[in-house]
Chains A and B, each alone.
Chain A
Amino acid sequence: MKRNRPRAALERIVQGVVDRLLRYVTWHAAENRSLSRQAGDYYPLVMILGREHYSERSKSYPALRRRDLEKVLHEELAGEPPTLALPGRISGDRRVVTFFRLDRDVFESLPRSLFIVPESVLLGGQLAAESWADVQRQGYRYFLFRGGPSQPAGGALEQRDLVAMAAGVDPDRAPEEWSGSDELLGRLRRALPSLSASTWWSCRNPLPRGIGTAGIAWKPIGLTAGLMLFAYLTLSSVYLQALLSQRDGALMALGPDIQQGLVADNEARAYEARRDALIELWSGRSDTQRLWQGVSLALQNRASVSRLDLRDGRISLRGEAPDATEILTVLASTPGFGDVSFDAPVRSARNGRQNFALSFDLSDVRAGSEKSDE
């Protein structure tokens, strides 16, 4: 039981998918019937055509390649009413092709399906070897033989034994009796999946007018499209050229003014650069004369000066004083002097004084006063 559950579920899924696909298959006999068990209005992609809507004949051809045979059939059927041609298997050096000539009025009244499958082709695959069938439905009767050949009942071919003789089957073998639309619908459902790919290919709609391309007036449309393209290109080119000329002219007209403006702009930039350079130059000039204030402070503190150097903005002062540290302290506490330090150790001289060598920077007095204000 447990093993059968997945199988049953799978079968249900497959059945569901098949049912969905069958929605798009319609059997057109006396009336239209969908092959799906569920009701619904779906566009028929596959149309199964009832036996009463086509006539059937067969012809033998040399065993050509399929492609060559199709060329031959295409040329033979040119100008004929819509006809399906189903090539059979090669037998010896010959191949039999069955033609299904469709009723033009019925064919044109059908929806534009992708495939048209003759009913007898589908049902013929349901017959066992050596068997044949007597098909009756909706007041229409025909005989069906293994592989698809069929013969509508009528006239002398109403009697089964005559039909069997005409078809070359065993007259003693009774035909299967298929009657009623519902039974045939079931057989069609079963037969559809077993249709071979080559049969599907042969059953494609012989007049694919569903797209409607044949009715399109290609020449006027092509001519109109070409003219419109030409007109678009011409107009856009003229427009672009006119704009170019107009803007070129406007640019030329502005020429002298632009020149004047550009010259003024360039000159302004040059003046700006020169101004910045001059400001930098003049602001870099230091007030070196203030070094004499330092000398004066040293002398006031009883120092004597032996050498004074100003180099790269730094002042070196050498001399003697009773207390060299006092000189350094005075200088360091005076605004305008910075980084005051001894350059060498202070040495005592014989006269009791101290030899010193110190140096200091001339800092910006204004900056110093601004700092003290803060």
Chain B
Amino acid sequence: MSSRVRLLLGLAAILAAMRFVVVPWTEAQADMHDRLYAITRQLDRAAAIVDAGSELQARRDTLADVVRTLAERAPLANPGSEHRVQVQRELRAAVESVGLRLNVFEWVLDGEIEAAGLVFGRVRLQLEGPLRDVAEAHVSIEASLPHVFVRDLIVNVRRGGQLTSIANATLELDLHYRREGGA
């Protein structure tokens, strides 16, 4: 075998070794390097989370207390017919205690405020009685029931238009509750 053939064979062997051994090897190393970079970042984040673990738990507990306090403004309830009857009973008592007559009680709809973790029921009351008593009932409901929102109020006053005049009032309320068994 001449020296030129040997030289060419040697070059071919070197090129083949580069192509099939060195290049795949370096590519595998590049992959390993990428994985190492990713895992190092994960490790750094994990270490930061572990280091801040107690702070995170304390913050969570504080927020849980705040949320509990805020949510407790709405009473616990289990939405259903029993609950509706109970609400009707309570509101009837409230309006009748000031001398009004509850002509109609209508449960309009049920809804949920997902972000706040609360449910609500919308009711419509048709009342009849002196204008003064309508005002008193309105004030009483709003003052004593912090979970109740007065949405609409329509009052038609009969002759005179004074506080003692008889009025027909339609009151639409949203009553917010915490669902029993919920957070």
Which residues does A use to contact B, with CB under 8 Å? 229, 233, 236-237, 240-241, 243-244, 247-248, 250-251, 254, 257-258, 260-262, 264-265, 267-268, 271-282, 285, 287-289, 291-292, 295, 299, 303-311, 319-320
A240 adjacent to B29 (CB under 8 Å): yes
Measured CB to CB, the closest approach of chain B to A20, in angstroms, equals 40
Q: A237, A258, A278: which contacts B49 (Cβ < 8 A)?
A: A258
Q: Give the distance in Å from the alpha carbon of A156 to the alpha carbon of B22 in the complex.
A: 71
Q: Which of B73-132 contact A (CB under 8 A)?
A: 73, 113, 115-118, 131
B49 adjacent to A262 (CB under 8 Å): yes
Contacts of B153 in A (CB 8 A): 288, 291, 308-310
Measured CB to CB, the closest approach of chain A to B53, in angstroms, equals 4
Contacts of B46 in A (CB 8 A): 251, 254, 258
User: 16 A-B residue contacts at CB 8 Å?
Assistant: A236-B29, A258-B46, A264-B53, A271-B66, A275-B67, A277-B117, A282-B70, A285-B149, A291-B153, A292-B135, A299-B162, A299-B163, A305-B157, A308-B157, A309-B154, A310-B152
A267 adjacent to B60 (CB under 8 Å): yes
Looking at chain B, what size class is its interface with the partner chain?
35 or more
B22 adjacent to A268 (CB under 8 Å): no
Q: Which of B134-154 contact A (CB under 8 A)?
A: 135, 138-139, 142-143, 146, 149-150, 152-154
Q: Give the distance in Å from the alpha carbon of A243 to the alpha carbon of B43 in the complex.
A: 12
Contacts of A277 in B (CB 8 A): 113, 115-117
Measured CB to CB, the closest approach of chain B to A285, in angstroms, equals 5
Measured CB to CB, the closest approach of chain A to B183, in angstroms, equals 8
Which residues does B use to contact A, with CB under 8 Å? 22, 25-26, 28-29, 32-33, 35-36, 39-40, 42-43, 46-47, 49-50, 52-53, 56-57, 59-60, 63-64, 66-67, 70-71, 73, 113, 115-118, 131, 135, 138-139, 142-143, 146, 149-150, 152-157, 160-163, 176
In the A-B complex, the 8 residue pairs with the smallest Cβ-Cβ separation, listed nearest first, are A304-B161, A277-B115, A271-B63, A310-B153, A277-B116, A261-B49, A308-B155, A278-B70
Q: A260-B53, A288-B150 are in contact. Are A281 and B156 (CB under 8 A)?
A: no
